[in-house]
């Protein structure tokens, strides 16, 4: 790649990114999950689209998709509130294990008998589409006012069920005979145990370190948080465990550990999550060949109908029997099993492994995801309202530290050195311009809110908030008092 090629790549990538960001507004107004718009951008760029870009590298798509999914799971985990998912954990685990097994069995049977696929291909499709998508769930559910128990179950399920599904898809796509069911169950249990152990260990160690190591710049904390989450994934995967479960659990621990600059870390992760979603969905749209989808439209609709109306409801019913969840909530849980990029990414595994009819599997999964996301996403708020399932408790205020730039303000940190004439000056005698005020004094390692009569001392550190118009004037006044004392401006010292 030459510098000229790099320039063209950066220009086109940034342009696509801006278009995708603008598409978020359309998504929020229409109620459509943003993933459909991103997929549409990729299709429009692709070989049947406006720019006729040819892209057929399934292996590269799989690698980038895995990396994007790591970021998306980390972002979702950082934003997950432990108090909401804690009571939902048993139900979420049941849906992610027993529920997945029921869904795979029913969907694969339909693919075999209704569509005529061989059992291997049918089982691959059944496994691929049985995973709910973390990106779709996180983006849609947080806009729908639902009881915290339902939200907790769906978010935890989407974070957990990628792991067993990936194991199943890889097992079904491997050349040679498929392992016996009890061997698969043992592998899934072992990988989940390894992934969970590593994820929790990395999360707690990372949180401990960030709370006790003072980094020199606040902007380093979000980078460190994301690095810890990625380490959890890589360590889990290299230990032959579930890296996806590891990164999600590590992020949940970090997100609930009251770390320094936690709002900034969540904002940084959210931005990376958007970039990951955009890149992943656009790339998946590029990989598909629209003119080849016609023959697979009816099979996709049939398999999706069985999945949505039979397999998902029965998996919910079977998994949640021990938990006494009301029928109305079970109906909503069944309809809210949203699919997205994860099934399409998993559909690249048989393509990379050289499974027979793997292109057809990919096309069926692509059509199924697009059509049924179009149906389920926009209708989810209506169904929740029809079932009279509103929020169970008043929503949290969502208090966090707002960037001062948003308020057109500045936070000035002022240290009083030994020789400063600010020593002995009262706060009121600073005579700061209107729109500026001393909000905090740090003295001898302790902080307090000063009164107008508080006397400043050498070694104090002041936090001064100043609005944008008076920021420079406030700084000039502070420097003048430091040089000329409380009478600065009256004795010839510049104010």
256 pLDDT above the threshold of 80: yes
Confidence grade of residue 233 (pLDDT, cut at 50, 70, 90): very high
Q: In terms of Cα–Cα distance, which of 178, 173, 123, 110 is closest to 348?
A: 173
Query: Which regions of the chain carry the CATH code 1.20.1530.20?
Result: 30-386
Q: Which CATH fold would you assign to the domain 30-386?
A: Na+/H+ antiporter like fold (1.20.1530)
What does the block give as tokens for 385? 């309202």
Predicted confidence at residue 403, as pLDDT, reads 47
pLDDT for position 368 = 94
Summarize the confidence of residues 112-140 as an average pLDDT: 88
Q: What is the pTM of this model?
A: 0.76
> 169 with 104: CB under 8 angstroms?
no
CATH 3.30.70.1450 domain residues, the chain: 405-487
d(C-alpha 45, C-alpha 57), whole Å:
15
Share the mean pLDDT of the chain: 86
Between 407 and 486, name the one with better pLDDT. 486
Over residues 428-456, mean pLDDT: 92
Query: What is the per-residue pLDDT for 349?
Result: 94
The two structure tokens encoding residue 207: 């949180």
Under 8 Å between Cβ of 169 and 348: no
Domain 405-487 has CATH 3.30.70.1450: yes
- CA nearest neighbour of 178 among 140, 222, 122: 122
**Residue 396: band (very low, low, confident or very high) from pLDDT cuts 50, 70, 90:** very low
Q: Considering the chain, what percentage of its residues have pLDDT values greater than 70?
A: 91
Which string of DSSP letters, residue by residue, matches 103-157?
HHHHHHHHHHHTT---HHHHHHHHHHTTSPPHHHHHHHHTTS---HHHHHHHHHH
pLDDT in tens, 50-59: 888 888 899 9
199-208, 390-399, 424-433: range with lowest mean pLDDT: 390-399
pLDDT bin (cut points 50, 70, 90) of residue 397 is very low
**Tokens coding 249:** 């659990």
């Amino acid at each position: 790649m030459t510098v000229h090629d790099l320039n063209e790549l950066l220009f086109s990538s940034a342009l696509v990114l801006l278009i995708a960001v603008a598409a978020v507004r359309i998504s929020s107004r229409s109620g459509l999950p943003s993933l459909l718009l991103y997929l549409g951008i990729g299709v429009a760029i692709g070989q049947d689209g406006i720019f006729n870009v040819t892209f057929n590298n399934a292996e590269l798509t799989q690698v980038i998709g895995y990396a994007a999914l790591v970021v998306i799971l980390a972002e979702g985990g950082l934003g997950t509130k432990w108090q909401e998912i804690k009571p939902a954990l048993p139900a979420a685990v049941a849906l992610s294990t027993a529920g997945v097994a029921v869904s795979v069995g029913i969907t694969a049977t339909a693919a075999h008998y209704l569509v005529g696929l061989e059992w291997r291909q049918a089982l691959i499709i059944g496994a691929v589409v049985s995973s709910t998508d973390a990106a779709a769930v996180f983006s849609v559910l947080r806009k729908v006012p639902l009881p915290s128990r339902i939200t907790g179950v769906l978010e935890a399920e989407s974070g957990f069920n990628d792991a067993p599904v990936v194991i199943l898809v890889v097992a079904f796509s491997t050349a040679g005979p498929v392992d016996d069911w009890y061997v698969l169950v043992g592998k899934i249990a072992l990988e989940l145990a390894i992934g969970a152990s590593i994820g929790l260990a990395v999360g707690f160690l990372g949180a401990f370190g960030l709370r006790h190591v003072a980094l020199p710049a606040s902007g380093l904390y979000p980078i460190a948080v994301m690095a810890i989450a990625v380490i959890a994934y890589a360590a889990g995967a290299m230990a032959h465990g579930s890296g996806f479960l590891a990164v999600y659990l590590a992020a949940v621990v970090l997100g609930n550990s009251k770390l320094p600059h936690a709002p900034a870390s969540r904002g940084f992760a959210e931005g990376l999550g958007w970039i990951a979603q955009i890149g992943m969905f656009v790339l998946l749209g590029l990989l598909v060949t629209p003119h080849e989808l016609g023959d697979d439209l009816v099979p996709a609709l049939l398999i999706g109908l069985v999945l949505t109306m039979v397999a998902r409801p029965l998996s919910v019913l079977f998994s949640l029997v021990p938990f006494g969840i009301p029928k109305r909530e079970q109906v909503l849980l069944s309809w809210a099993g949203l699919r997205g990029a994860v099934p399409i990414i998993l559909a690249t595994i048989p393509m990379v492994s050289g499974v027979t009819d793997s292109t057809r599997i990919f096309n069926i999964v692509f059509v199924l995801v697009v059509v049924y996301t179009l149906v389920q996403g926009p209708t989810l708020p209506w169904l929740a309202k029809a079932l009279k399932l509103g929020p169970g408790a008043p929503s949290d205020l969502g208090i966090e530290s707002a960037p001062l730039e948003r308020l057109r303000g500045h936070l000035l940190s002022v240290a009083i050195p030994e020789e400063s004439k600010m020593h002995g000056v009262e706060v009121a005698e600073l005579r700061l311009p209107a729109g500026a005020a001393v909000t905090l004094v740090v003295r001898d390692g302790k902080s307090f809110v000063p009164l107008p009569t508080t006397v400043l001392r050498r070694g104090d550190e002041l936090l001064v908030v100043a609005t944008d118009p008076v920021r420079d004037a406030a700084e000039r006044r502070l420097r003048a008092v430091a040089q000329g004392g409380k009478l600065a401006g009256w004795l010839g010292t510049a104010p």
